[in-house]
Chains A and B, each alone.
Chain A
Amino acid sequence: NAGVTQTPKFQVLKTGQSMTLQCAQDMNHEYMSWYRQDPGMGLRLIHYSVGAGITDQGEVPNGYNVSRSTTEDFPLRLLSAAPSQTSVYFCASSFSGTGGLDGYTFGSGTRLTVV
């Protein structure tokens, strides 16, 4: 009963490097999202997916890329890391996608530092 699993938990990158943050869920949820959390800014939506093969942009998509080849996995790619991308990244999934009574289930987060 893993829920939403994010890897790695911590990462340090140099400016200009690329990397992929992994997210997997075992609850057969169609809806998955990526958020970043910065002090005083709350959770901001980066990209989201309503099912395999379907993705769309959120509030702050620039510098990030996503794909959804399976229901279970929703990786987030940083194309060329910048210090402004230093943040805590959360992946979330939902059965209904409505934000209603079933709520969103969040992973434990990836703490990324770009130097």
Chain B
Amino acid sequence: GQSLEQPSEVTAVEGAIVQINCTYQTSGFYGLSWYQQHDGGAPTFLSYNGLDGLEETGRFSSFLSRSDSYGYLLLQELQMKDSASYFCAVRDSPKGSTLGRLYFGRGTQLTVWP
């Protein structure tokens, strides 16, 4: 089985930095992903960490510590358009195969104020 925990809401002002944490428990671990979803829209892929450390993509960075079963998404220079839900996700490792099953946390609603 698997479980992912992330805060339900985070608020910040434009230009600020915000960190969204994710802790996970899985029977096997094959990397942590992050997705963004605007209201009424579809989730879109943001980043992936397969190994420990920080991955940077523009204003967004994602970090993973496998020993702590913990990761975070860091959003810098926040803009109004960053207001959205952010989901962490892990791949399960069912018996016989680890492909095709991606499990999501319940999401963190980020509100950016002007």
Q: How many A-B residue pairs have CB under 8 A?
A: 75
Would you list which residues of chain A between 71 and 112 have a CB under 8 Å from chain B?
90, 92, 94, 96-101, 103-109
B89 — which chain A residues lie within 8 A by C-beta? Answer: 99
**Closest CB of chain A to B109's CB: distance in Å?**
10
Would you list which residues of chain B between 3 and 54 have a CB under 8 Å from chain A?
8, 30-31, 33, 35, 41-45, 48, 50
Stretch touching chain A among B63-71, B73-81, B95-103: B95-103
A45 to B44 Cα, complex, angstroms? 16
B35 — which chain A residues lie within 8 A by C-beta? Answer: 103-104
Size bracket, chain B contacts: 20 to 34
A49 within 8 A of partner (CB): yes
Contact A100 B106 (CB under 8 A): no
A42 to B87 Cα, complex, angstroms? 8
Size bracket, chain A contacts: 20 to 34
Contact A43 B104 (CB under 8 A): yes
Option from B31, B41, B105, B106 in Cβ contact (under 8 Å) with A99: B31
**Closest CB of chain A to B49's CB: distance in Å?**
10
B112 within 8 A of partner (CB): no
**Most chain-A CB neighbours within 10 Å: which of B8, B91, B101, B102?**
B102
Option from A48, A90, A97 in Cβ contact (under 8 Å) with B43: A90
A40 within 8 A of partner (CB): yes
- Nearest 10 A/B pairs, CB to CB: A103-B45, A97-B99, A42-B106, A106-B42, A43-B104, A99-B102, A99-B91, A97-B100, A50-B100, A31-B100
